[in-house]
Amino acid sequence: MHLSVTPEAAMFREEVRGFIRENLPAEMVEHGGGVFSSNKAHIKYWQRALYEKGWGAPGWPVEYGGAGWSATQKYIFDEEMHVAGAPRALPYGTSMVGPVIYTFGSDAQKRRHLPGILSGDVWWCQGYSEPGAGSDLAAVKMAAVRDGDFYVVNGQKAWTSFAHMSDWIFCLVRTGGGGTKPQEGISFLLLDLKTPGIEVRPVISIDGEHHLNETFYTDVRVPVENRVGEEGMGWTYAKFLLQHERTAIAGVTASRLALERLRAVVSVPLDGGVALIKDAAFRRKLSEIAIKLRGLEYTDLRGLCDLEAGRPVGAETSMLKIYGSEVQQGLQELALEAAGYYGAQFGAPAREYLFGRAASIYGGTNEIQRGVIAKGVLGL
């Protein structure tokens, strides 16, 4: 690993910190270290501020409104945003469908959709999973049948995060079949959620929050011009999108902040005058998580070095997803243990712990990720 902190990188970090100090209202600072915010007003305000600064989409090419930053600059920016507690925009626009559109979409699609994604005025959600197609996305059944200049879409999507707050959804749909592989015959379609025939139903998760939904599609007429790229090539675009998703899913900074908060809490003496950190068993569990987090951080930095050297990011990113979710869950378990009865009944540790059970499922289950590593890295 060849990573050095140059004077230019240090200056850039100070520039980011200065922008945050000057533009982020104290009432919008989000404590708790979550990866993404669910406060739409806060997200829209902050995305607009970043957009006006030219930082609306750090990872995009300059020609499409991106910042033109190096991989190191993007890493620094992301880290400082987490540390400051700035509202974290949902990834479905800038990190997922945006790159698909500017890479594979038509000129008309770029003109129509990219400006709204950049400014935060148009919100997107992801329509991948179905009741019978979770991590096995090749099993999607939602059908899009060609009818002249339209597709007639029928089917269902499951676990559609923030669909109730979104304007558009990008979906994997089945436009053909009969191939030798289930990945064939899948297309990538953009749907306006205001289109007649679309119904969004809430799913309340185990933490008591509403961020998940089921979405149903009954004879929904979608213009063919809303298909990204070629018909039947959706699997290629989906893999491209997931690669973008998983390179940001390690959550190193969020976990590091959670570890620091936990250490501070368990260092406070209890009623008996002894802090929990003095307990050898608890201290050992905390140390094991800290070691695992350090390993995750250096694995993430090795990936950063690859990006800076122009080497492609491959299936190795699945390791970041596996260990990132395991570290997150381990910290949540220890936070709940430290909070004890009151935290379990009333506190944020319980909510974070409950929803955190899904971390090893969403974004592709850890079992699926191990299969990706076995095939793509080990050649099995």
Q: Kindly state whether residue 313 falls inside one of the protein's structural domains.
A: yes
Pair 228, 258 in one domain: no
Q: What is the domain-level CATH number for residue 40?
A: 1.10.540.10
Q: What is the reported pTM?
A: 0.90
Pair 19, 84 in one domain: yes
Q: Scanning the structure block, which residue is given the tokens 């597709």?
A: 151
Assign 281 to helix, strand or coil.
Answer: helix
Encode pLDDT of 134-154 as tens digits. 878 889 999 999 999 999 999
- Number of structural domains found in the chain: 3
Assign 350 to helix, strand or coil.
Answer: helix
Question: Pick the catalytic residue: 80, 130, 245, 337?
Answer: 245
Q: Kindly state whether residue 2 falls inside one of the protein's structural domains.
A: no
Pair 369, 281 in one domain: yes
The whole domain housing 329 covers 249-376
In terms of Cα–Cα distance, which of 285, 293, 295, 171 is closest to 222? Answer: 171
Q: What is the domain-level CATH number for residue 162?
A: 2.40.110.10
pLDDT top residue among 11 and 347:
11
- Residue 345 pLDDT > 60: no
Q: Scanning the structure block, which residue is given the tokens 């390179």?
A: 247
Q: Kindly state whether residue 104 falls inside one of the protein's structural domains.
A: no
In this structure, of 136-150, 294-308, 317-331, the range with the lowest mean pLDDT score is 294-308
297 as an active site residue: the answer is no
Q: Kindly state whether residue 255 falls inside one of the protein's structural domains.
A: yes
List CB contacts of 228: < 8 A, sequence separation 6 or more.
100, 101, 104, 105, 109, 170, 188, 189, 190, 234, 237
Of the CA atoms within 13 Å of residue 22, those in its CB half-sphere come to: 9
CA 358 – CA 296 distance, rounded (Å):
19
Encode pLDDT of 366-379 as tens digits. 998 899 899 888 89
Encode pLDDT of 220-264 as tens digits. 999 999 999 999 999 999 988 876 655 567 889 999 999 999 999
Ranges assigned E (strand) in the chain = 124-127, 143-147, 150-157, 168-174, 186-192, 198-204, 210-223, 227-228
